Structure 1
């Protein structure tokens, strides 16, 4: 769907606010009513931004809103320069918009191989995954109310993404029941959430299938090596500059980061 001039102006406002690190107290234009409207804004912003995309985040649409918006997930780009390796025990500093919205989420990350134009299903898509890692998605937007107006608003500003921390790999993931794996999330050492991937609709591989379908419909190719951040496991945990986030997978695999202000 090609963006209208009004949607182009919304995209320009978000790109400028992110680049200039200025908060948006109000949504900068007409609020998108559909996911197609949201992705038209997102596509226009990606074109204006010009950076290379290294991954995509996938987020859940709340059950009461699924019928209205026609899907149970949304997606947004993760730019290559905001993907940081924290797999060797480092705790990278991840910037957020201090006067906007900021959160951190424990996620499973899939690195995809050659997607091509073949049809994928829940069984075969696992063969497309060349690496599976633990990770943390950092969500942030200069618009503090981004999550208060429904998924189309969230999707319109890059899906509310501001970076990705690549944690250690789950080496034996093909032999594991990933949906049963326990995951915990801590902020400044205090537990703020615990769950398993069984809470993630049809799990991380279902998120990958959603992404392939959605990007194909938008005419966007998925390059080999693209990361998929498959959705929050323990919840969306709001966080502030100066705090630390840590995720613990399977009681032993740790990934963490600190949060700083842009």
Structure 2
């Protein structure tokens, strides 16, 4: 831990609590994933909220070779998760003046009791799961350059996560090819992205394996179970307060939410 790591972590936590934009990165930008996760880990400790899951995002070329990883991870705090089966069109806050986007994602739940052993294939990964849902990740940060500055910067501020909408269960998921589901994302009724998870490296199960290895390497206990938001399928789509987002998963259903400005904590 360095003074710089501490200062950046505190600046991001303070800005998120106040729903205040940061015009510039609050310190020296991390250039490797070790420093990015050191900032993230310290920010999680300062923040203090329980973590109920983790988002996984892709690291594209040429950054993947330089950073030694093709994915990154960030915490999803319990109070930012909404069950859309109870609240069908939840209001999801984003940081005005910062970065804000919505991403259609498959959500995989690692059952309680994981012993720290990372599976090596899809079959071994499925054994660890007890639920698969349709979902939307809300990616938002007080810093507008969170993605433009590169993956290490993205990871340093909670992986650019600000919330998760958990939709309906994917019934019979054990027998479904998750990479064959055609996913569409709409904003205000207009389709802005369409793809399958086949474009996502080794797919949703691969995202789970990456995350478990990442958490194990960082000494983070995941034995109580956790949600994994496995990555943007149709893309990272910028959103503004007032807009409506819908993620459609072929014949399996859809998930809705609408975007609102984040409010500072009292």
TM-score bucket (shorter structure):
over 0.9
Q: For 1:88-167, list aligned pairs within 5 A.
A: 88=86, 90-113=88-111, 114-122=113-121, 123-167=123-167
Aligned: 1:247 with 2:240: no
Aligned: 1:45 with 2:52: no
CA RMSD in angstroms comes to 1.0
Partner of 2:233: 233
Partner of 1:67: 65
Distance 1:89 1:12, change over 3 A: closer
Q: Is the 8 A contact 2:105 2:232 kept in 1?
A: yes
Could you tell me which of 4, 7, 10 is aligned with 2:8? Answer: 10
Using the alignment, how far apart are the partners of 2:160 and 2:136 within structure 1? Answer: 14
242-251 or 186-195, which moves further after superposition?
Answer: 242-251
Q: Is the 8 A contact 1:87 1:255 kept in 2?
A: no
37-46 or 245-254, which moves further after superposition?
Answer: 245-254
Partner of 1:85: 83
SS in 1 for 2:62: helix
Using the alignment, how far apart are the partners of 1:29 and 1:10 within structure 2? Answer: 6
Deviations 1:201-260 (A, max 9, x none): 100000000001011111001143310000000000000000010000024401010000
Please report the TM-score for the alignment, with normalisation by the length of structure 2: 0.96
Using the alignment, how far apart are the partners of 2:118 and 2:209 within structure 1? Answer: 10
Partner of 1:30: 28
Q: Which runs of 5+ in 2 are unaligned?
A: none
Distance 1:224 1:250, change over 3 A: farther
Residue 88 (structure 1) shift: 4.8
Please report the TM-score for the alignment, with normalisation by the length of structure 1: 0.97
Q: Which runs of 4+ in 1 moved over 3 A?
A: none
Partner of 1:214: 214
Q: Is the 8 A contact 1:53 1:77 kept in 2?
A: yes
Q: Is the 8 A contact 2:99 2:143 kept in 1?
A: yes
Q: Is the 8 A contact 1:89 1:255 kept in 2?
A: no
87-96 or 134-143, which moves further after superposition?
Answer: 87-96
Q: Is the 8 A contact 2:100 2:238 kept in 1?
A: yes
